[in-house]
Structure 1
């Protein structure tokens, strides 16, 4: 009987040990599966493309500013490990803050805010998302994770001014302009100085629209300049409205942002254009490599971020040659657009002979050079 009890106890203990071993094996298997899932998730996260977002002030089909930025986005969209998306027609102010915040919350690691009025919302949102990089176009405020970027468009403006000054017959050039801020003012000044370099008698008449993108208003503003005898229409606007008005009147035009010749093939002499992709590629590569740092980028024609569009068929070879020579001098540093002597509209000397405006002075420019008809407000 005792022997039977011993055998029974041994059997029970054997079953219990087997159960324990089975449970232990199951736990190890479950643990191994969990570790595998964690590692797989980590690998998936590491392999996931970096999300890069873009905010545009106007529709991408505007043929102007937002269109040029989107051409840049398309250039980098196929970079390895990069995924891009954009939101168009985002008004400056609270709406832009909402869109920026939504992008940051949804895992975007790099956000490009492409309009001046997005600056304060960028700085505000950046404080709460230190692991996201924010780049603001044309602004001046920065943070540890927020920088600014822009191009020296005034260099391209100077070259288009040469073309316009050589082609005018009335010596009256019209300029349809958005807002009286330094960015726009220095562009008008550079255009005027370029025109005066080949035609000292030229004057530039300015009309403010107080809008970035309003095709109808821009076109009407151009018509008002045509009515006072301007025979070349330039612009700092986002639509080809001014180009179309010039063509309808049978006079010349200078486009902006992108090559607008398809909208006014008989009118556009050339255009001051952006190549944003070269900046976007460089910034994205820095962020991916972990070498990005907050700074204020202001690239020029030497890096290809600004340029002029192909010349229209009506532009003589002599004018092309003069303009290309000036471009070469700009690239070589032999021409400095804002070099003295420079006078303001009243004839007062603003920059003495032999001196050149500094970058901070150019960035804060709020006065017109002599030869411009219009106000800076």
Structure 2
């Protein structure tokens, strides 16, 4: 099962976070535990840590961000760890083979960095109870499998705030990969931030049905530019959109990593993932025998996501506004889906004084107010 099929399992995903309803007051707890696993005892030899990647380490997107985290862990722990990675592994039968081989090769901690690796991870983990596995963006856990993802909706909201102040046409383009809750949530958070600073602005979405396809991303972005978009953003993996924005003299936001080098004038900031601290902490937990199977969903405050340095073309007062909201996210005083939140049909989905909780976000299949168009059915 790949990430495109997430929508079918959203209810299960939400329940795995042990939340009772879709609407709640603010809750700063980002972890839930299942029965603790007996972590493997590691001797004087370095801890062998394996990584499996869905893309290339040179993609400057999702996989590149994870590999930066791997390298940061190596720098932090030096000779205490020995890492290996396998890149460009499809989300199917090949994934199980690669994960199993990483375990057979003696890796005692294995990070499987895509939702589509979830089921193969669980299957292999049952055969290797003394190996610890961590699956990114999945929801299934057993005694020796944990899950993790970043609250990227926080930096998405911040980039939306900037877009609202920088657009002149009041049309902002968003290139989405697949219409699953993960992506819909990001579009929604971006639109929430956009309309917080510019209630007249609208988001137009184009779906490319791919996590990484620079040609499709560029073509879709050009179509939105032709429809009046003067600011672009994305939930896809390539740098093509930032490069196109630079060529066209408009603005854009990167995603996953800092993409400023691909558009020094166009690039406003990037919504970035920062995996290094998490990878370091999990390796230390395995080495100390304190690792437990948890559902980790961390935000800016925990250092898992953020925005990259802002382009100085952004006015100082706008930067201050963004930094203030960022601080509120860190302190737990604000949430990207603070109520009232209305959908595009005018229905209040989140009342005033409440927030859209984790379960509601994990199952999100609706557009917030300010997003044009409809959500296509996810292709399986």
Which category of TM-score, normalised to the shorter sequence, fits these structures?
0.7 to 0.9
Q: Deviations over 1:8-61 (max 9, x none)?
A: xxxxxxxxxxxxxxxxxxxxxxxxxxxxxxxxxxxxx93221110111111111
Could you say what secondary structure the match of 1:345 adopts? coil
**Superposition pairs for residues 1-377 of structure 1, below 5 Å?**
46-78=43-75, 79=77, 80-377=79-376
Deviation at 1:333, TM superposition (A): 2.0
Separation in 1, partners of 2:256, 2:285: 26
Deviation at 1:142, TM superposition (A): 0.7
Deviation at 1:82, TM superposition (A): 0.5
Bigger relative contact order (CA 8 A; separation at least 6): 2
Separation in 2, partners of 1:92, 1:123: 14
Instruction: Kindly name which structure, 1 or 2, has the bigger radius of gyration based on alpha carbons.
Output: 1
Deviation at 1:376, TM superposition (A): 2.4
Could you list the structure 1 runs, at least 4 aligned residues long, displaced by more than 3 angstroms after superposition. Answer: none
Q: Which residue in the other structure is 2:12 paired with?
A: none
Do the aligned residues in 2 keep the contact of 1:226 with 1:246 (CA within 8 Å)? no
Q: Which residue in the other structure is 2:10 paired with?
A: none
Could you say what secondary structure the match of 1:58 adopts? coil
Deviation at 1:313, TM superposition (A): 2.9
Do the aligned residues in 2 keep the contact of 1:207 with 1:374 (CA within 8 Å)? no
How many residue pairs end up in the alignment?
333
Do the aligned residues in 2 keep the contact of 1:57 with 1:92 (CA within 8 Å)? yes
TM-score normalised to the size of structure 1?
Answer: 0.86
Do the aligned residues in 2 keep the contact of 1:145 with 1:294 (CA within 8 Å)? yes
Q: Which residue in the other structure is 2:14 paired with?
A: none
Q: Deviations over 1:261-303 (max 9, x none)?
A: 1011110011101110011111111111111111100111111
Separation in 2, partners of 1:142, 1:376: 30
TM-score normalised to the size of structure 2?
Answer: 0.86
Could you say what secondary structure the match of 1:62 adopts? coil
Separation in 2, partners of 1:260, 1:100: 30
Deviation at 1:219, TM superposition (A): 1.1
Deviation at 1:143, TM superposition (A): 1.0
Q: CA RMSD in A?
A: 1.1
Could you say what secondary structure the match of 1:175 adopts? strand
Gaps of 5+ in 2: 1-41
Could you say what secondary structure the match of 2:261 adopts? coil
Could you say what secondary structure the match of 1:362 adopts? helix
Could you say what secondary structure the match of 1:163 adopts? helix
Separation in 2, partners of 1:273, 1:294: 25
Separation in 2, partners of 1:144, 1:216: 42
Gaps of 5+ in 1: 1-44
